[in-house]
Amino acid sequence: MARYKTKGLDCWNKAKELRDRYYKDYKESHDRGGLRWEGGAWSFDAIPQALEGEVHGLSEEPYGASIGHIPELQVRYQEAAEGKWGCARDLCSYMRAYWGSVALNEYAFGGAWPHADFIFQNQICCCHSKWLQVADEIGGGTTPYFCFDVGAGPYDKIGDRQIDYVVGQLYDGIEFIEKVTNRKVIDEKLIQNVYNTYRSNCYWAKTCELNQAIPAPLDEKTMFSLYVLGTLEKSNQAIADFYEKELYPEVKDRVADKIAAVADEQCRVLGDSQPPWGFLRIYRYLEQYGIVSMANLYTFSLIGWMMVDKKGDIVPCPTLEEQGITIKDRDHALRLLAEGELKGKLMWAPFYGATYKNDLVTKIAKQWRCDAAIIHLNRGCEGTAQHQMQLKIALQGMGIPVMTFEGNMADEREFDEGRVMRLIELFVTETLGLKKVA
Amino acid sequence: MIVAGIDVGGKNAHVVILKDGNIVAQGAAATGIQKAEAAERLYKETLHKAGLKQDNVGRVVATGSAGKRVAFADGVIADAAADARGVNRLFPSARTVIDVGAEEGRAIKVSPEGKVLDFAINEKCAAGTGTFVEAMARALEITVEEMATLSLKSNNSIPMNAQCAVFGESEVVSLIHQNVEKQDIAKAVHDAIAGRIASVARIVGLEKDVVVIGGMARNAGFIHSLKKEIGMDIIVPDDPDFIGALGAAEAAAAGVLERKVEAKS
């Protein structure tokens, strides 16, 4: 008999529906007189989404991940990009998949590639800042392109000067998109979008915090399909409502009722970096041994805003409503937006050194009560793969068994499934000493 | 009780038969592409050599990269687990096992009980494996055995790329064209592989005693280079390429059947 009760999420279909609507809206936006823009998961979408009229964005990384999830499509797109540019395989594999999609004039969700009216992007790694510029060259490179820098420092070094630096660029960005679209940024929309951004990011962080419970109410494979909404359009009212009013309360209830993601949970695993999207079945395989992969700096803080409190623990950031903050005007909104991202997005910190990654991930391992770690040495993302072997040493120093496997988030040619399964079996049966529960 | 361990690797298969814990027979053969058939043939030959029949064998455990293909096995264990068990039987003091076979080089940190505590494997790269040495020997137009002997005569150090077997071969050809002595090139190849394997071993941490197994452990030139590279003594068992099969046989004797055989051909 299973150790815990388990069941699927009631809000699962709503999450799917929101995602489907996002990609459909982007495609159909022009038909309805709306604007289209391209950006990334970290693009401060609250700003372009505040333009007057109907506006829809396309977020590059989740689009690349969607391609990565379909092995046949990913290889065709990768090869199309390589055929056009001869790009090296160590470039971001989301980016290469995206480029291939554009080069083939195919939208993965049906029809021809829907060109954007403008690009609004930011710079945290080198691929992010060049990605859409190169993609746009296929169409002649005429799409207006604004890129701002968020490399202002790690979360614990953010003060007024760093916030001013980003806010100054955001003002430039507003001026730019107003000029190229001939539409105004509406302050009421901007302010609402910032409230929504806080709600999306903070409630996702609160949801992740609930995974400290034993049994874990969510497994990572499920979380991948949930955090994606925030990477698409965190400023969206429906998405913010989903995180605050549907997902969080439901997961809270699961904790109270001891409803587990994995009914036979006996081993809690920490992950790192993005998964190999075409091979998520490895997570289901782990479940046969009662293993639940349930914590990951990337999964938590790709969108979740978290902070390190006075005790040194990682805790969710509060929403603006919880802080009793009422946004007064555009400047206030932009400052809060920049502050939230710069201070709350902990996963930007590893870009400033291994010490940050080790510190944050070892805290997660401790607070989320992880028994072991399985680290995906992700050849498709140099940013998130930084410091992984140093992290292995840090985790082992805490007494946590760690295995690593090589792969690629969106290029199946870099993933040897048979070999990885051999390694996982070895780790699970020998190092962890687990037996199949079913 | 009679039990058998079968290790089916990238190029060769090895069989060890134990009777009441003692080795009564062992055999090795190249497998080619038809690994399952070759392994079965070798198993029957080894039993025949020992005057045994299949019915006499109480349990068979397979291991190795093609271990799952051994349809007549009662169970399969992971290759690193077999290595750890095999080494632990012979050298209970071993804490680091380095296994360099035809297609893979791996380092295993083992507990006093022979449990795998940590492991690291060279990923998707022929450099740092037996196949790399074979390719370099071909380029030098000598046998692998000659390469081992020759390299021990060299006192020169020539830096060489062992990150890629293809580029490594080009580099050997360049050295030949520069009239570098074969013995120096042979040593350069072994030094390069040793550097590569040592870096894999450092991932798990090198701790005494260090035991090197796998086909490459028979190569004295490589062992010499590896000792120098890691700055530690190395133990090489008498039959280093049989250790995986021995560990599988030990697992069979202990009744360890971690997973069922999945494929028949």
> DSSP assignment of A115-184, as one string?
--SEEEEEESSHHHHHHHHHHHHTTTS-S-EEEEE--S--GGG--HHHHHHHHHHHHHHHHHHHHHHT-P
Q: Calculate what percentage of chain B has a pLDDT beyond 70.
A: 92
pLDDT of residue A289: 95
Q: Is A397 on the interface with B (CB under 8 A)?
A: no
- Tokens 């190229």 -> residue: A180
Superfamily of domain B1-91+239-265: ATPase, nucleotide binding domain (3.30.420.40)
Across the interface, of B119, B123, B203, the residue whose CB is closest to A426 is B119
Q: HSE (CB half, 13 Å, CA atoms) of A125?
A: 21
Q: How sure is the predictor about B263, in pLDDT bands with cuts at 50, 70 and 90? A: very low
Closest approach of chain A CAs to the CA of B88, in angstroms?
14
pLDDT of residue B260: 54
pLDDT of residue B265: 36
What does the block give as tokens for B144?
Answer: 């692998």
Q: How sure is the predictor about B257, in pLDDT bands with cuts at 50, 70 and 90? A: low
Pair A269, A283: CB distance under 8 Å = no
Q: For strand B12-19 and strand B2-8, is the pairing parallel, antiparallel, or unpaired?
A: antiparallel
Q: Which element (helix H / strand E) includes A373?
A: strand A372-378
Q: Tens digits of per-residue pLDDT, B68-108? A: 889 999 999 999 999 999 999 999 999 999 999 877 889 99
Q: How sure is the predictor about A414, in pLDDT bands with cuts at 50, 70 and 90? A: confident
Name the CATH topology of B93-236: Nucleotidyltransferase; domain 5 (3.30.420)
Closest approach of chain A CAs to the CA of B17, in angstroms?
23
Across the interface, of A402, A406, A430, the residue whose CB is closest to B78 is A430
Residue A119 and residue A135: Cα distance in Å, rounded? 11
Q: Is A417 on the interface with B (CB under 8 A)?
A: no
Pair B97, B108: CB distance under 8 Å = yes
pLDDT of residue A240: 98
Residue B183 and residue B185: Cα distance in Å, rounded? 5
What residues in A contact B260, CB-CB < 8 Å? none
What does the block give as tokens for B176?
Answer: 């030949």
What residues in A contact B118, CB-CB < 8 Å? 396, 401-402, 431
Residue A55 and residue A50: Cα distance in Å, rounded? 8
pLDDT of residue A387: 94
Extents of the domains making up chain B: 1-91+239-265, 93-236
> What is the rounded average pLDDT of the residues A392-410?
95
B18 residue type, one letter: L
- CB contact (8 A) between residue B259 and residue A404: no
DSSP 8-state assignment for residue A318: P
Closest chain B CA to residue A435: B258
- CB contact (8 A) between residue A430 and residue B84: yes
Pair A196, A236: CB distance under 8 Å = yes
